[in-house]
Structure 1
Amino acid sequence: MLLITLYLFIVVIAVQLAYYLIVFGKFAFAKLQKSNPKRISISVIVCAKNEGENVAKYIPLLAEQEYPDYEIILIDDASSDNTLDIFEEFEKQYSNVRLVKVKNNEAFWGNKKYALTLGIKASKKDYLLFTDADCYPASKDWITTMSSQFTMQKTIVLGYGGYEKVANSFLNKIIRFETLLTAVQYFSWAKIGKPYMGIGRNLAYKKDEFFNVNGFISHIQVRSGDDDLFINQVATKKNTAICYSPDSFTFSEPKIKFKDWFTQKRRHVSTAQLYKPFDKIQLGLFYVSQLLFLILSLVLLAFQYQWIIVLSLVGFRYLFTWITLGFSAGKLKEKDVMYWFPIIEIVLIFTQLNIFITNLFSKPVHWK
């Protein structure tokens, strides 16, 4: 049995090697990205529900973008706080701000996709750039940098949405490492030609892509997935580009309680069940290989079976993962989380297992 376990362990190492060096290496070792500014018309779309405090801080940053031709579509999704009042003031203050008021609809109550659809239909520009109400751009060149990746063929641009650093917070390092790893995955698969998701905190596409598939209609009954499920449906090798220049990043305030972050991740994980078969398989295989690496290495070392070989393989595995993720972290300005990499990875693997089990027995809560 121990010999079989060792062989299985070697197979797991080989699978991990393929992911980190062959797949993730496409992004990790890619050249620095150059921006070729375009002069295309952009609609920046922000959907908010009870986000009064956030929109008061962040919408002015969107209005200060240094871009010649853009509008800001502010969608109030039947907020019960002062979000609508703040939006109305912004509409008076900025000439390029347009407000979309969404009333509760019995058929689509609490469905963000319904609100976004109304906002997209109200937009007047050919290209759409999305961010969340609790996000802000890293620079005044956010629109310029994201839109620079559009071409005649590339009509979808996947961006990076990071989280603010919180000093002396281990949870914050976990959150930012998980965000880094997720970005490495969807950037890398996009570069290979198999894009499978994007994030609503920083995502752009041509309006035609939305109407060509009748918007969110194929998954309108799923409350989440306005970003990843939509991209999983429409993104292809030919039409998808990525943008990872620092000026293109957006940032959000991270959760400060583990329970809140756990709930957030439950929502994100639940939509992955609706991905295309290949995408579910590759994501599942990657996670299973991570889990088996930990379990099998502990079993073999506990029995001291071929411990020199096992330790050598463990060291080799950590070497190539550290290198790949280290280069990726450098591109996404998240280098500090790599100092805690082995510990964070272990915590994250078992947290994901907990999320998977929890989601089997109860449904996660979605849009506010």
Structure 2
Amino acid sequence: MLLLDFVLYTFIAVVFIQVIFYVFFFGRFALFEQEKKSRKNNEVSVIICAKNEAENLQNFLPSAIDQNYPSFEIILINDASNDNTLEVMEQFANQHENIKIVNVKNTEAFWGNKKYALTLGIKASKNEILLFTDADCKPLSKYWIRNMSDHFSKKKHIVLGYSGYSKIKNSLLNKLIRFETLVTAIHYFSFAKLGIPYMGVGRNLAYTKTTFFKTNGFVDHMKVLSGDDDLFVNKVANKKNTAICFSKNSFVESAPKTTFKNWFKQKRRHVSTSKYYKLKHKILLALIYSSQLLFWALAIALVVIKHQWQVVLALFLLRAIIQHIVFKKSSKKLNETDLLALLPLLEVFLIIIQLTIFINNLISKPNYWK
């Protein structure tokens, strides 16, 4: 009986930790309203790094070209592609004067390194504000550049944006992918709002050229094949220099993976960079995940053995209600409201997958960026 009481008290502590995170951390973003910024008309360089992305460039690049913005250039980086990516880039460049091509060839020192290619593209850009996205991303409005660039000021040198995935009907995998993206966005927006930014997503991320070179760019983690977005933000971002942008006109959308194997491979690569985060960020993220895992494991165990099940149920419902409120408000901001009905199921799936990825990454390391 003593052991069961210990398990119950542990569960109570875990619920308390979870409630703190949802109310005082994630609630900051859920209840925050995007401030309307004045137009600044800053000159912007949109940077797109592509490796074997000929088809995606044909489909998605026009949305970046057709932006309603007075002054911007597009830097297209061909990262040693072996398809006709370069030819597609040249076709667009011949039609639009504001497109510049950077053709990167593999070198022995930086073989297959996206950060090396991005650095060359950044050096080739002429404007102070750099706005990053991927070849398979589509801005959802003609005011994407406007909305992201308007958040820059004398103090704000980094802007974190949102990039979701397109919806596929009757696909549980698609909902899981979009749910994971939603959870990640809630985390990094909330932490940034609290003044402890820890990551951004390169599909929709902006910072100044001065900031990049002043902090030596990707030098500190050049040998880590992934993390050109989150590791750079983790190193450079702070309470004073970082802004968040989640107005719907600032969203970009990507084509999601359609097989679990490909998505799992992608997530392994993303998760592998987190070990390079600052210690305080790793501690907070580990506490979030471990408390989620323990919440479900202990709740199920206590209900199965029927130990103080009334107390367990009450605490379970308390956490569920608070979580639902936070996710409802956050998902409305990020246009992902259809995920709410499957919230508990998707959360459990994601916890299991994250644990599996963690174990796999301990056994072997991903060694690719694409």
Runs of 4+ in 1 over 4 A off after TM superposition: none
Tell me the alpha carbon deviations over residues 213-259 of structure 1, each in whole angstroms, 9 at most, x when there is no partner.
11100000100010000000000100000000000000001011111
CA offset at residue 365 of structure 1? Answer: 3.9
Give the distance between the partners of 2:249 and 2:367, measured in 1 at CA. Answer: 33
Aligned to 1:46: 48
Give the distance between the partners of 1:177 and 1:33, measured in 2 at CA. Answer: 25
Correspondence 1:1-368 to 2 at 5 A? 1-368=3-370
Q: For 1:231, what is the secondary structure of its paired residue? A: helix
Aligned-pair Cα RMSD in Å: 0.7
- Give ranges in structure 2 of 5+ residues lacking alignment: none
Q: For 2:48, what is the secondary structure of its paired residue? A: strand
Tell me the alpha carbon deviations over residues 58-83 of structure 1, each in whole angstroms, 9 at most, x when there is no partner.
11111100000100000001110010
Q: What amino acid is aligned across from residue 124 of structure 2 in structure 1? A: A
Give the distance between the partners of 1:352 and 1:304, measured in 2 at CA. Answer: 29
Contact 1:149 1:241 in 2 (8 A): yes
Paired residues, number: 368
- Give ranges in structure 1 of 5+ residues lacking alignment: none
Q: For 1:157, what is the secondary structure of its paired residue? A: strand
Q: For 1:201, what is the secondary structure of its paired residue? A: coil
Contact 1:33 1:244 in 2 (8 A): no
Tell me the alpha carbon deviations over residues 84-129 of structure 1, each in whole angstroms, 9 at most, x when there is no partner.
0000111110010000000111100000000000000000001100
Q: For 1:214, what is the secondary structure of its paired residue? A: coil
CA offset at residue 42 of structure 1? Answer: 0.2
Tell me the alpha carbon deviations over residues 322-368 of structure 1, each in whole angstroms, 9 at most, x when there is no partner.
11011000000000011100101001100100000011111124223
Give the distance between the partners of 1:202 and 1:42, measured in 2 at CA. Answer: 14
CA offset at residue 32 of structure 1? Answer: 3.8
Of the structure 1 ranges 114-123 and 36-45, higher mean CA displacement relative to structure 2 is found in 36-45
Tell me the alpha carbon deviations over residues 108-160 of structure 1, each in whole angstroms, 9 at most, x when there is no partner.
00000000000000000011000011101010000000011111100100000
Q: What amino acid is aligned across from residue 98 of structure 2 in structure 1? A: N
Contact 2:192 2:244 in 1 (8 A): yes
Give the distance between the partners of 1:200 and 1:260, measured in 2 at CA. Answer: 19
Give the distance between the partners of 1:291 and 1:121, measured in 2 at CA. Answer: 44
- Normalised by the length of structure 1, the TM-score is 0.99
Contact 2:225 2:367 in 1 (8 A): no
